Amino acid sequence: MKIHASAFLGGLVVANHALLSFALDKPSVLVKANHISSLKESKKPGVSLLHVISPFGVENCLPQFCPFDQAQSVVVGSMLRAKDNTSRGHVTLAATAFEDEQKNVVPEGFDALPALTRSTETEYPELLSSERLPFIQDIIDRALNHNVDSEYIIYTNSDIILHESFYDTVQNTIANEGYDFFTINRRTVSKSRDDGELRTKADLDEIFVSEYEQHPGNDCFIMKREIAEKLNLGDIFIGTIFFANTMSLQAYYHSSNPASFKSEEVIGTFHLGDDRKWSDMRKLASIKQNAMNSICQNQFLQDVCSAEDLAEKRPNVWIHCKRLKKKMQKWVERDFEFNDNNNICHSSLKKNHPETTKARFVFSLGTEGTGHHFLSKLEKSSNFAKLAKTEQWFGILREEQRQSAKLLRGIYRLDDLPTSPDTLDLTPAYEELVKKLKKMQGIVNENIDPSRVGNNEVLSIHLNAFMNFMTSFPATNTTARYTQLPDLGIFYKACQDAEVECGHILMTRDAHEILRSTTKNRFHDHPKRQIINLSMHLNMMISQAIQYSEKLVGCFHFNDPTSLLRQWTGGDMFGWNIDDNSLENAIKMYYSPSRSMTEEERVELVPDGFDLYMESMMRATEMLRTTCQTQLLGGQSEIPAVPLEHPANDGLSHLLPPYKIVQIGAPRTGSTFQFELLRAIVALKSPAGAEIKSRVVSKSDWNEGVFEELQSSTESFVVKTHIADERLIAASDSGSVSVFSSSDIVPYSLYTQQRQNIEDCSACEIDQYRSLFDLTDEDVATLKKHMQDYEILRQCCGFQMSKYEVLRLNGCDVSEYTEQPDYPHCERHDLSSVEMSFANSPISFETTNPEFNWAAPGDCARLNAEVATGKGFNGRRLDGCKLNGKFAGVKGSEGTATKTVAAPEEHAPRIGSPEHNQAEISPMLKNSIESERVLKRCPRGHVWSGRAGECVPRVRPHNCPNGQRWNRLMRRCVPQDSENTVHPSCPDGQVWDDEAHECVDIGSNIIYNCPDGQMWDDTVQECVPDDEDT
């Protein structure tokens, strides 16, 4: 809810408060409220205030804000202005920053405290966050040790803007009420002025009176020096959650007269925008680490919050304990309790683990087609790999492993060698690889107990594990294919420089089967070129095998994968133990032999005139295999064989119907593209007439068992979700579903799509699915055409089109955007032809929400005509030609008309007619609209429903007339005593959705609005308490 500042009396005094009763988990608890009326001017002498912040520099900062970002620049200006406006007491402004930037970022007019010498980067180098964050105790300590006499310490985050009367407000509050600790919640205002330009410190007067949104979190702390001296915040760092909760809780405990002021109660602090960067799922490791630092590093919170009489004796402290407990249950451990968390602390803290396990970095050297995908599946199905789902440190290790494999792959691929040899420099990648090898060894030393990996002395980390596969060579189909020769010498040099242990596995397979796999089952190259190229690779591998024989770990022959397993170097491999035969048993479980080839097939496979070259490839294959076996056996000639039982139809190299696929990804990661691509692939590869279910699985769907119903079905399904539910882990492990992801939200997907790859070449992404679905060249061509048309229609038609196209259709000058990588160039496309092409695709397509999205030929003209009347994303009101976010239009105005017009039964004049009284439509649209198409105009608060054939009220949850209630399943207001009923115009199994204005499947509800005090979280797809701190 937005509130205008002018609604408050005198700018500062806003309300009288009595006692507030909080109905939480305990009986009615009386909590002292904030007596805002006490902010009246006091005649008592003021106290001395020391206000400290911790600023940081920003690379590539905008000239008007340098050396800061926008927020910090405005903050510094506001603090100086507030100090100048102080009428009583004494204010000292102070700042501390990291050593390397202290001189540049401590503002003029601020005392420079001693520089910060540690950060999350130095103390927790394994955290994935790219930010380095300071520790709050270090900041408080520097303030306490400053050589000024300060009775109160004030700490605010470096993005918190002060009102010009802030310090007088603080002085009056202390003088009139004697609070020894209190917080002031900020008001969230827009980053931009009305003209679209970013606000600067020159706009403070405008900021002070702007419309704002309330913010529940704490980021401004005022406390007596005596309380600050008692804080024990250990290694808690700022910039993510658990910092403010823990600091507030400790301060409340040590305070005898605390208070907390909400955003609407005091005009004290402001914040530009509400990015909540800490909620980024990529910072999950940082969040969990801060939770551990909060709970486990000192016994204070456990002792205080587990006290039985806390709610009665210290209700303020009890409330903060409850909040902290809920966050621990959300982010760390669902069943967390303060008096029973030893297991959590022991398993998560990264301290004092004995160095009983060492890492061994292994590279599997083999050509494509020799079983790398099988080994990847073997590793991902291991018990050890499951630690990534339960152990924070292991998830970090897996990410470092992936990045290291990517670096090594880049060194070997030499993509730029054919085109830009003069600029090719591999030194930075090599140096980064050495750093990561050291880092991974450190993670293993700190975290692994031998019992966690089956009492092995060695943990093998595989450096082919790029993305969700193990990379083979050649690695791509680019022009650099013939230069992609992996050199073990570079690998072992990096290991030597990093002082880590390394080894290699040699991989072989029947030469004809390799050729069939890479030219028939998957087209990597023309058979003639493939024979020559692979022969060259094999001969080079023989040379490297001889050079580095002492580093050999094992031999993997795809046609007989368990042979020589017991001669492999001890420890674990691919997450399975070698010594207790679990690796052998796992191979037997997951391995499925390739179909044997007849002699006729072998002859037919080799191109005419290439028999001699094929024989060379066969000799090289056998030579590599024999060399490996001889080295592993120490010169023995007799090779023991391990019998292998092949379970039927297990471990297939590609997926087969019925397909049971789950697409998962964080919002705005290209998840819709991957979801639609998977739907298209399944439709293409399924038998004619097969039923394929498709839907989005929300948080409530998981709770209602929708996923279990789908999983037990014998039919194919493709579903999309943003929820990393634990049941998905079990389903993936059992092989009952195949998981694909569009972000690193889960570590166990078959394939993880990268958004950058989609932006660079979305059609190229389709090639990544060849081997997974056994796609032929014809399949890939069909899919690329289908997805090309889909992308055009998605970006150029309907209410979810590109924001740039929205502006263009409404007559705005978009020349400044045409060079943007995501500009769709819709003006270049004949949309009618694209519509017909897509409608005639051999791949079926089902739209969602046809009132907003394309469903049939002619919809582009119909929907775009409405967009051109001044509507943006999902029907939002377009209020100008400037873009201020990801979507076009004013947030919160979805579905509203540009003007209030005639009664709902009347038809608006045809678009383009003289009587048309709305915004002028572009000439292109006028010519494309079918003559019989008309637009309906509805009064404010209503929208036109093509299905209902009338204007319908735009009803919001929790806003029903008297005598009615909101039905979450049907998404509409219903009589108070009614049961769920089906809308007369909807087919069986569906209900009317007043939000989407269409019939939807029962159970497919999506929450658009939340109760007071809660907010919608796109990451977890549910309403969450709106009390997160920053």
- Using one digit for the tens of pLDDT, what is the confidence trace for 261-290? 888 888 899 999 876 554 444 466 677 788
* Residues 6+ away with beta carbon under 8 Å from 923: none
The confidence score (pLDDT) of residue 77 equals 95
The sign of the CA dihedral 143, 226, 298, 250 is: negative
Q: Give the pair of three-digit tokens for residue 259.
A: 């208070």
DSSP secondary structure, 340-384, as one string: S-HHHHHHH------S--EEEEEEEE-BTTSSHHHHHHHHHTSTT
Indicate if the pLDDT at residue 724 is higher than 50: yes
* Residues 6+ away with beta carbon under 8 Å from 428: none
DSSP secondary structure, 589-623, as one string: HH--PPPP--HHHHHHHSPTT-HHHHHHHHHHHHH
Q: Give the pair of three-digit tokens for residue 656.
A: 């087969």
Q: How far apart are CA 29 and CA 658, in angstroms?
A: 57
* Residues 6+ away with beta carbon under 8 Å from 462: 361, 362, 363, 364, 375, 379, 401, 405, 470, 574
- Using one digit for the tens of pLDDT, what is the confidence trace for 820-839? 877 888 988 888 888 888 88
State the pLDDT confidence band at 180, using cuts at 50, 70 and 90: very high
Tell me the C-alpha to C-alpha distance, in Å, between residue 726 and each of 335, 733, 746: 14, 11, 11
Indicate if the pLDDT at residue 629 is higher than 50: yes
Indicate if the pLDDT at residue 886 is higher than 70: no
Distance, CA of 661 to chain centre: 20
Q: Do residues 968 and 1022 touch, judged by C-beta distance below 8 A?
A: no
- Using one digit for the tens of pLDDT, what is the confidence trace for 70-124? 999 999 999 999 999 998 889 999 999 999 999 999 999 999 999 998 888 888 7
N residues, the chain? 1030
Scanning the structure block, which residue is given the tokens 């008007």? 64
Helix axes 284-296, 392-413, angle to 10 degrees: 150
* Residues 6+ away with beta carbon under 8 Å from 994: 952, 953, 954, 955, 971, 972, 973
Q: Give the pair of three-digit tokens for residue 982.
A: 């089906």
Q: How far apart are CA 323 and CA 241, in angstroms?
A: 12
Q: Give the pair of three-digit tokens for residue 418.
A: 């054919």
State the pLDDT confidence band at 780, using cuts at 50, 70 and 90: confident
DSSP letter (8 states) at residue 552: E
Indicate if the pLDDT at residue 483 is higher than 80: no
Q: How far apart are CA 414 and CA 420, in angstroms?
A: 10
Beta-strand relationship, 1014-1017 and 1022-1025? antiparallel
Q: How far apart are CA 670 and CA 794, in angstroms?
A: 13
Considering only residues 747 and 76, tell me which one the structure prediction assigns the higher pLDDT. Answer: 76
Scanning the structure block, which residue is given the tokens 């519509």? 835
Query: How large is the average pLDDT for residues 239-246?
Result: 85
The confidence score (pLDDT) of residue 498 equals 87
Query: How large is the average pLDDT for residues 26-39?
Result: 33
pTM of the model: 0.41
SS (H, E, C) 255-319: CCCEEEECCCCCCCEEEECCCCHHHCHHHHHHHHHHHHHHHHCCCHHHHHHCCCCHHHHCHHHHH
SS (H, E, C) 924-956: HHHHHCCCCCCCECCCCCEEEECCCCEEEECCC
Indicate if the pLDDT at residue 745 is higher than 70: yes
Indicate if the pLDDT at residue 865 is higher than 80: yes
Considering only residues 795 and 903, tell me which one the structure prediction assigns the higher pLDDT. Answer: 795
- Using one digit for the tens of pLDDT, what is the confidence trace for 332-357? 777 777 776 555 565 443 433 334 45
Scanning the structure block, which residue is given the tokens 């020894």? 180
Identify which of 70-84, 535-549, 684-698 has the greatest average pLDDT: 70-84
State the pLDDT confidence band at 1024, using cuts at 50, 70 and 90: low
Q: How far apart are CA 207 and CA 271, in angstroms?
A: 9
Q: Do residues 515 and 530 touch, judged by C-beta distance below 8 A?
A: yes
Question: 440 pairs with which residues across the strands?
Answer: none
Indicate if the pLDDT at residue 404 is higher than 60: yes
Indicate if the pLDDT at residue 678 is higher than 50: yes
- Using one digit for the tens of pLDDT, what is the confidence trace for 933-985? 333 445 555 554 444 455 655 544 445 677 776 554 444 566 665 444 434 45
Mean pLDDT of the chain: 75
The confidence score (pLDDT) of residue 994 equals 45
